[in-house]
Structure 1
Amino acid sequence: MTDTFAPNAAALALRVPFRKATASNPSGNCVEVGELNDGRVAVRHSGAPSGGAILYTPGEWDAFCDGVRAGEFSRSA
């Protein structure tokens, strides 16, 4: 990752529309994702939007999403 953490997510949020997944936890404990103009993807905790955001390059984000689809992060029963 080139830029791994953006400490001022409040300022970032002014320029980035964040969205939650439709399968979000009803208690609100989930992440929000927003795309920056330069192609990077910002991820933040929905319960603490001003706490900061992790920034991913497009390639890093694609690799993560591919891993999610492949079940790489699923918990064992």
Structure 2
Amino acid sequence: MQHAYNGIPASTLRGAVWRKSTLSNPSGNCVEVARLADGAIALRNSRHPNGPALIYTPAEITAFVQGAKRGEFDNLVDAE
């Protein structure tokens, strides 16, 4: 089994099925995610699909998503 690590070229993640939010903008400024065979979660920039991927544990992704749902990161984006 391939060992995934932060910065691994996304194109080398065998079997990764990448998806992005339906809220992604049409100019391609998106983050895509994929669950890996070992349960880890990979993220990549959709503009650079062969570029580096960041790899997170399920617990790390859960903590981030829960924080985002609670608005803990709202200060990082411009108000619309």
Provide the TM-score with structure 1 as the length reference: 0.85
Give the structure 1 partner of residue 60 of structure 2: 60
**Equivalents in 1 of 2:5, 2:30: separation in Å?**
19
Counting aligned pairs with the same residue, the percent is 47
- Cα root mean square deviation, aligned: 1.6
* Unaligned 5+ runs, structure 1: none
Query: Which of 1 and 2 has higher RCO (CA within 8 Å, sep 6+)?
Result: 1
After superposing on structure 2, the runs of 4+ consecutive aligned residues of structure 1 that deviate more than 3 Å are: none
How many equivalent residue pairs?
74
Give the structure 2 partner of residue 8 of structure 1: 9
* Unaligned 5+ runs, structure 2: none
Q: Aligned-pair distance for 1:76?
A: 5.9
Provide the TM-score with structure 2 as the length reference: 0.82
CA-to-aligned-CA distance 1:16-46 (integer Å, 9 cap, x gap): 0000101101211010000001110000000
